[in-house]
Structures are given as structure tokens and as C-alpha cells.
A and B are shown apart, each in its own frame.
Chain A
Amino acid sequence: MNAPHIPLAEPVTLKPQTLRHGMILGIFCFGFGLVLAITHQITSDDIASRALEDKQNSLSQVIPERIHDNNPVTDTLVMRNAGDKEITIYRARMGGKVTGVAYEIYGTGYAGEMKLMLGIGADGRVLGVRVLAHKETPGLGDKIEVKKGDWILRFDGLSLGNPPPERWKVKKDGGQFDQFAGATITPRGVLAAIRGGLDFFAENKTKLLEAK
């Protein structure tokens, strides 16, 4: 890249004062940078294990304990979803046989992407869905969180044929699922994500259930 040459009105000289200010600023930056680096070093292990615990927690909510004897967090498989995004599949096994899988699904809400974890049994029925991250309006769209309402629990046990595809919509769109007062876009996005997740399961069933 060629930076345009701008002629300077006066020759620039480095004043001793400027140098001093630069030094002071540099020392502050270095000092606080060091403090942050040390803090990062001290906390990184704890933060990593908290993240793992969170993942374990969210997995245990979508894969009931009674269907597996392995640890799904470490029994993983990486695949590409319909949006060509790499997703990690967590597998639940009982006696080596895959009894269910869980993976992240993505939906578009009112304020950007929503990330959910979907658990599906080997029979194609939803074991559970939980919201992992979203930016929906507090008090309106955030009722999709299990902490703030039981809306998200209504999908347990449902599958691609039950209800039929044309009923997999919010009531406003002629489907069977309630939207929230003041928030239709959020539940619509969640529903689309779950539909997509179920489609993914149907398309990749053999690969997902392979007992490798």
C-alpha cells in the first residue's frame, strides 16, 4: 500500500516533552498490560473449567441421565450443519449404543442470533431444548429461558411428524405454539431453529447414531 505523501508545513522535531509523555503513557500501558496478563493467567484455568461445567449443565438438561452411562461432553463428533457451520455433536450412549445426541442450533431472534442446545433421542423425539445465549429484550423475549418461564419445555417429546410440519409454527402464523405478548419474532426464531435441528437429525440419522 502506498500512503499518500503529505508535505509538512514545518519540519517535525521530537520535543523532549512529547517523548516524556509518550514514556509515561507507555509505562502505564505496560504496567496495566502486565497486571491483565497475570490475571488472565491466574483465572484462565478456572474460567475454562466453569465453561466446561456450564456445558455439562446444559447437556444434562437436554439429555436425561437415565439414557446414558458415558460422559457426552467428551464423546463428540464434529459435523457441518445446513448453514455449513461446524457443530459439535455430543453423544449419549448406553452400553456403547447411541441413545441420543445433542448439538447446538441457531435461530434468528429480534436482536440477533440465538444459540440453543437441542437434545434428540435415537427415535427422533426431542429430549429437551435449552437456550444457551441470546440478546432478546429482557422481560419480553427472554421468556424462552427456562429460568424465566416454562415455554421452552413444551417441545419435549415432540418430533418432526408430531405435530405435522404445517403446525410447527407460532399461533400467529397458523401453527400450534404460543407466542409471547409483545414478542413474536423470538419464539418464531426458536421454532425455526428447532425445526432446522430436527431436519438435520433426519438427514444425518445413520451417521449420528453410528456406534463408532
Chain B
Amino acid sequence: MSTGQYKTIVKDGLWDNNGVFSMLLGMCPAMAMTTSATNGFGMGLATAVVMAASSLLVAAFRSRITQEIRIPVYILIVAAMVTLVDLAMNAWMHELYKVLGLFIPLIVSNCLPLARLEAFAAKSPVLPSFLDGLFMGLGFTIALTVIGAVREIIGSGTLFADASLLLGPAFKAMELRLLPADMGVLMMILPPGGFLATGLLVVAKRLLDLRAGKEIQMAGAHGVA
């Protein structure tokens, strides 16, 4: 693979073919876990780790996985990676686990990893697949952080609240209060806010792409979960 192709993988994952804003995949965590920017960021990072690892494994075993049994094998691999991450974090990164632990099992039900395994890792060598999983995961992280930020600012008037619980005390400084506590529009951190924020951000991304003269990538969603 040439450098150009790697660049495309990175750009596709982060922006052009963003899992949430372009492909409309992984809608369940994108709406359920984004009540704050910190929550979205944590969920996104955990997903990125699982995606990178499972893309790598699927690419490595791709000659052994036959067409007929590929879906159960993909699910098996994603579920195994999720369990590994869950156990390892619980044992050795316990503080982080206490914050993220709740989100990790939910990654199994995210269809973005599965979609990338099917669309990319199943037919590509190990390194590009790993990068695709990683950057799709990071694109997912960016999307969830942005949705979380919008909802948090309007809903609670804060930004990156509790980031120090996730990232360590050094990040206390990034916890901002932008509006007085009782100014928040509660609806934004309740489920309707998830739909509103996600929908408006999808529109915003398409407007930006249009303005940049890019062709709009239509949602190639196989299903929305």
C-alpha cells in the first residue's frame, strides 16, 4: 500500500466517511452515551481500541474465514476483544475502569466495528486493516465527543465536566462551566437531545462538505444500531 492509500484511510476514518456523521452507524452509543463530552470521549476511545484489535485479527485470519461463517466469526472476535479489554482494564487500570466500565460491554452491540470488518478488514492486509479500525474508531471518538459537547453545553452549561475522573487530575483545568447551573436546557441531556444534536450535526457536516465542493457520501448503512 502506498502512502496515499494510508492517507485516504486516515481521512476517511476521521472525516470523509465518518462512522457516525457519514455512515450513520453506531447510533445507539452515539446517542445514549453522549450526555457529556467526557462520556462520549471515553466511549469512543474504548470503541477505538476494540475496533483496531478486531480489524487486525480479522485481517490476519481472513484467508481462513469462509464466506458462510464470516458473520459469527466477526461477532465472536469483537465479543472476545471486548471481554479482554474489560478484564484487563478492571485488573490493571481500575480507576479508568470505574468510569468507563459501564460502557465497554455495550461495544458488542455497536454495528460500526462489524461494518468495518465486513467492508474493509475482510479483504485487506493486516496493517491497513489495523489503521482502518483505529482511525474509524478515532473518528467515532471525535463524533461522540462533539455530540457530547453540544449536548453538555446546552443541557448542563458545562464542558468536559468530570474529565479529571477519566484522564487524571492534570486535566482538571479543562473542566469548564460556560453557563450558570440552572440555565441548562434539560431536554438536551435526555434522549430527545441525542436525536436533535446528532441530526443537526449530520446536517452541519454535510453543509461543510458541500461548501468545500465535496461530493456528499450517502449513508451506506447496512443497518442502524
Interface residues in chain A, defined as those with a beta carbon under 8 Å from any beta carbon in chain B: 20-21, 24-25, 28-29, 32, 35-36, 39-40, 42-43, 46-47, 50, 53-54, 137-140, 147-148, 181-182
A138 touching B35 by the CB < 8 A rule? yes
B84 touching A47 by the CB < 8 A rule? no
Q: How far is the CB of A41 from chain B (nearest CB, A)?
A: 10
Residues of B within 8 A of A137 (CB): 35, 189-190
A36 touching B35 by the CB < 8 A rule? no
Residues of A within 8 A of B190 (CB): 137
Of B7-15, B69-77, B117-125, the one contacting chain A is B69-77
Residues of A within 8 A of B92 (CB): 43, 46
- Which residue of chain B has its CB nearest to the CB of A183? B186
Given contacts A32-B76, A43-B87, A46-B91, contact A24 B162 (CB under 8 A): no
Chain B facing A: main interface SS: helix
A47 to B94, alpha carbons, bound, how many Å? 9
Residues of A within 8 A of B72 (CB): 25
A53 to B190, alpha carbons, bound, how many Å? 34
For this complex, 18 residue pairs linking A to B, each with C-beta atoms less than 8 Å apart, are A20-B66, A21-B69, A24-B66, A25-B72, A25-B73, A36-B84, A36-B87, A39-B84, A39-B88, A43-B87, A43-B92, A46-B91, A46-B92, A50-B94, A53-B94, A138-B39, A139-B35, A147-B165
Choose one: A25, A39, A139, A147; the contact of B69 (CB below 8 Å): A25
Choose one: B36, B68, B91, B98; the contact of A139 (CB below 8 Å): B36
Beyond the given pairs A36-B84, A47-B87, A139-B189, 16 more chain A to chain B contacts, judged by CB atoms under 8 angstroms and listed by A's residue number, are A20-B66, A21-B69, A25-B69, A25-B73, A28-B61, A29-B76, A32-B77, A32-B80, A35-B84, A36-B80, A36-B83, A42-B91, A43-B88, A46-B92, A53-B94, A139-B152
Q: How far is the CB of A156 from chain B (nearest CB, A)?
A: 23
A68 to B98, alpha carbons, bound, how many Å? 28
Q: How far is the CB of A140 from chain B (nearest CB, A)?
A: 7
Across chains A and B, the number of contacting residue pairs, with CB separation under 8 Å, is 69
B182 touching A181 by the CB < 8 A rule? yes
- The proximity string for B residues 120-138 relative to A, scoring 1 for CB distances below 8 Å and 0 otherwise, is 0000000000000000000
B186 touching A182 by the CB < 8 A rule? yes
Residues of A within 8 A of B222 (CB): none
Q: How far is the CB of B163 from chain A (nearest CB, A)?
A: 13
- B109: interface (CB < 8 Å): no
- B201: interface (CB < 8 Å): no
Residues of A within 8 A of B162 (CB): 147-148
A20 to B36, alpha carbons, bound, how many Å? 48
B186 touching A140 by the CB < 8 A rule? yes
- B18: interface (CB < 8 Å): no
Q: How far is the CB of B34 from chain A (nearest CB, A)?
A: 10
Residues of B within 8 A of A24 (CB): 64-66, 69, 73
Which of B87-106 touch A at CB < 8 Å? 87-88, 90-92, 94, 98
- B19: interface (CB < 8 Å): no
- Which residue of chain B has its CB nearest to the CB of A17? B68
Residues of B within 8 A of A54 (CB): 98
List 4 tightest A-B contacts by C-beta distance, closest first: A46-B91, A43-B91, A32-B80, A138-B35
A39 touching B156 by the CB < 8 A rule? no
A138 to B193, alpha carbons, bound, how many Å? 13
- Which residue of chain A has its CB nearest to the CB of B88? A43
A140 to B92, alpha carbons, bound, how many Å? 30
